Amino acid sequence: MSWFRERRRRNLREAPVPHEWQDIVARNVPHCRYLDALEQEMLWGDIRIFLAEKYWEGCGGLTLSDEIRITVAAQACLLTLCLPEKFYPNVRTILVYPAAYRVRTRRVGPAGVVTEGRSHRVGEAWQHGSVVLSWQDARAGAANPRDGENLVFHEFAHQLDMLDGTPDGTPPLPDEDAYRRWYEVMRDEYDHLVRAVQHGTRTLLDPYGTQDAAELFAVATEVFFERPRALRKRHLALFELLRDYYRQDPAQRVDRHPAGETDEDQADAHHQMEGM
């Protein structure tokens, strides 16, 4: 890293955080309330750098606001909070549309471009250059931490996956043992999810994860940060795998927080009612 960039990043980290920005994160990124003071400080530094180093563009008539940029940045930076490699070096541009746009397929093109679309959430993760998001879906995914669905976590998990050049559901890992463990746990989870979907069983992980290993990692990341205690309870091996990869434990954060228990209990009650 150049001396100039290092100095610029240090200055960004030291800049004060406007109150309005803190309000936006409190409102739109509920998991951040569980972070301790040191983690909060680190996250805000990361957010500042992320905001400054990416090119942001509103598309389809959308005018970008602080609310949009900070909501997206806070979630993207939460994923990498404890990772050695931060700021998604492959992502140069973040394009935001007002709502879902017309993409209805998922395919991996020759340049590693992954395009996908669903009726309720639509985004794109490009291997070199861009993340495309629907603001309506990004905001809805962030504001409801109990549904285990989060478009920004999903798309940026794809970016972590692709740091090694391939969208194969495995991000760069430290050694061979880590890769072996990753394949075993993910293979078991994939088989489990496919069987559950075939039997029409309600699952904690989005059935979309049956598409392939890349989608499984993305939907697992959504649940890891939105429903960490439920994931720990029902998919312990997967939870521990992601905890070791992300180097943070969202379930323990919720355990320690006074509001945490109520939140997850309500989520479980809601989940059970929906399944009836």
Interaction with Zn ion in 106-125: which residues (CB under 5 A)? 116
Find tokens 């996956």 and name the residue.
Answer: 161
Interaction with Zn ion in 253-272: which residues (CB under 5 A)? none
Q: Supply the minimum distance, in Å, between the C-beta of residue 165 and Zn ion.
A: 17
CA dist 25 → 76, 119, 239 (Å): 12, 26, 25
- Total residues contacting Zn ion by CB under 5 A comes to 3
Find tokens 């629907």 and name the residue.
Answer: 134
Q: Does 218 help bind Zn ion (rule: CB under 5 A)?
A: yes
Task: Say how far residue 102 (Cα) sits from the centre of its chain.
Answer: 23
Instruction: Tell me the helices (H) and strands (E) count for the chain, helix number first.
Output: 12, 6
Closest CA to 227 of 197, 271, 258: 271
- CB nearer to Zn ion: pick between 24 and 132: 132
Interaction with Zn ion in 176-215: which residues (CB under 5 A)? 215
- CB nearer to Zn ion: pick between 25 and 219: 219
Q: Supply the minimum distance, in Å, between the C-beta of residue 216 and Zn ion.
A: 10
- CB nearer to Zn ion: pick between 189 and 215: 215
- CB nearer to Zn ion: pick between 116 and 137: 116
Residue 130 β-bridge partners:
93
Q: Supply the minimum distance, in Å, between the C-beta of residue 219 and Zn ion.
A: 8
- CB nearer to Zn ion: pick between 205 and 218: 218
Helix (H, G, I), strand (E, B), or coil: what is residue 34?
helix
Q: Looking at 49-57, 140-148, 174-182, 217-225, which segment touches Zn ion (CB under 5 A)?
A: 217-225
Closest CA to 213 of 165, 156, 168, 260: 168
Residue 94 β-bridge partners:
56, 131
- CB nearer to Zn ion: pick between 13 and 118: 118
For Zn ion, the nearest residue by Cβ is: 218
Question: Do the Cβ atoms of 227 and 267 come closer than 8 Å?
Answer: yes
- CB nearer to Zn ion: pick between 116 and 147: 116
Buried b / exposed e across 154-186, counting CB within 10 Å, b at 16+? bbbbbbbbbeeeebebbbbeeeeeeeeebeebb
Question: Do the Cβ atoms of 214 and 168 come closer than 8 Å?
Answer: yes
Strands 91-97 and 129-134: parallel
Q: Does 160 help bind Zn ion (rule: CB under 5 A)?
A: no
Q: Does 162 help bind Zn ion (rule: CB under 5 A)?
A: no
Question: Do the Cβ atoms of 32 and 9 come closer than 8 Å?
Answer: no
Interacting residues toward Zn ion by CB under 5 A = 116, 215, 218
